[in-house]
Amino acid sequence: MLPKRKPNRFSQITPYVMAFTGLAYIVMGGFVIKRQWLLVPLTEVMSYAMGILLMIYGAFRGWRAYQALSESSQD
């Protein structure tokens, strides 16, 4: 059996960073839909496609952060 190691500080902060980036992607998706801009002007269809894609990815990142937080609380 391997001895249990104390988690370092960075591993305790990581889920919160993951949650913040997920929220940032969701906000950025809303910005792309509203402004129809992502470094270059976008058509309406392209802005909705990119915005929804960014929001889905942000939700995925948020879900992964939730899983990481629940795993760290069980330890």
- The CA-based angle 67-69-71, given to 5 degrees, is 70
Residue 46 lies in a domain: yes
Residue 6 lies in a domain: no
Q: What is the pLDDT of residue 51?
A: 95
Residue 3 lies in a domain: no
Write out the residue range of the structural domain in which residue 42 sits: 15-74
Write out pLDDT tens, residues 1-49: 556 666 666 677 888 899 999 999 999 999 999 998 888 999 999 999 9
Residue 57 lies in a domain: yes
- The answer on pLDDT for 62 being more than 90 is yes
Residue 41 lies in a domain: yes
Residue 7 lies in a domain: no
Residue 10 lies in a domain: no
Note the pTM of the prediction, 2 decimals.
0.80
Residues 36 and 7: beta-carbon distance below 8 Å: no
Residue 4 lies in a domain: no
Tokens at 29, concatenated: 């998706």
As for how many domains the chain has, the answer is: 1
- Among 12, 21, 29, residue whose Cα is nearest residue 69: 12
